[in-house]
Structures are given as C-alpha cells and as structure tokens.
C-alpha cells in the first residue's frame, strides 16, 4: 500500500545551474549527479539532516524545453519568511510579494520564488491558529 511521497521531480534545462540555485539559494544538499542512461541525467537533493524517510527533490534534466505551469508544484516550509523573501530578492532572485491568509487551522505567510527555469515554488511559514492565539495573549 502507499505510504508517502518519495520524491518530487522538477524538469530542468541545465542541471548544474539548477543544482546551484537549489543549494545556494535554498540550502538543499545535492547527493550528486546521476547518469540515468541514454544521455539523461538527474540529481537528488534534500535538506540537512538527510531525511531518513522524508520527501526528496529530484532535478531531471531534459533536452527539450522544460514545461512550466503558472502554479506552484510544491511548497517549502520555512521560518521567518519575510526575512527570507528580502534576502532572496537582494541576491537577485525573482520573488513575489508577501501574502498572508488564515485557514480554520493555520495562519500562513508566504511568497513565491522562481527557479532558473521559471518553476514557481511557494515558501511558506505556517503557524497553527491555537499557537497564534497563545502568542497574542
């Protein structure tokens, strides 16, 4: 039976450029470049410490133009999103404005970051509503 997501695959045009972006801008660790045969390559990335059973991010190099959708394919949970957004913007990254919204369960602060191929990644800080209420008291 199914248990969890093992890896999210992101199509990229230039593997080394994308590895640099994800490691230098987002702090992921690259396990190495893999030869997938037939001239195809990929690289698996993860956050430190290595997540024993966590979701991995796999960059899949494509020779043809990479398909990009106008919606985030995934999000990355973060702390201090406002500072992170300013830092990434100052380092030349394309970022959206900060957004905030509440669900019944959580308070959300987020922005979107665009990788070198134009893929939109949502960076999000989530605080449970109960924790927000306690902090405001």
Q: Is 70 exposed, middle or buried (0-12, 13-18, 19+ CB in 10 A)?
A: exposed
User: What is residue 64's predicted lDDT score, i.e. its pLDDT?
Assistant: 85
Selected residue with higher pLDDT from 53 and 56: 56
Q: Are 100 and 107 in contact (CB under 8 A)?
A: yes
Model pLDDT for residues 12-42, shown as the tens digit of each residue: 999 999 999 999 999 999 999 999 998 899 9
**How many degrees, rounded to 5, is the angle at CA 28 between CA 26 and CA 30?**
140
| pLDDT given at position 88 | 98
This prediction has a pTM of: 0.86
Q: pLDDT tens digit string along 74-116? A: 999 999 999 999 999 999 999 999 999 999 999 999 999 999 9
Between CA 82 and CA 67 the distance in angstroms is 29
């Amino acid at each position: 039976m199914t248990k969890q997501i093992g890896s999210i695959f992101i199509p990229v045009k230039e593997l080394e450029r994308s590895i640099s972006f994800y490691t230098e801008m987002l702090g992921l660790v690259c396990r190495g470049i893999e030869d997938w045969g037939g001239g195809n390559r990929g690289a698996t990335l993860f956050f430190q410490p290595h997540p024993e059973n966590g979701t991995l991010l796999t960059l899949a190099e494509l020779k043809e133009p990479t398909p990009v959708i106008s919606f985030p394919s995934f999000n990355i949970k973060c702390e201090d999103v406002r500072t992170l957004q300013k830092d990434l913007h100052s380092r030349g990254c394309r970022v959206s404005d900060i957004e905030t919204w509440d669900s019944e369960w959580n308070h959300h602060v987020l922005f979107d970051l665009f990788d070198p191929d134009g893929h939109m990644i949502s960076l999000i800080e989530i605080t449970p509503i109960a924790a927000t209420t306690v902090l405001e008291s």
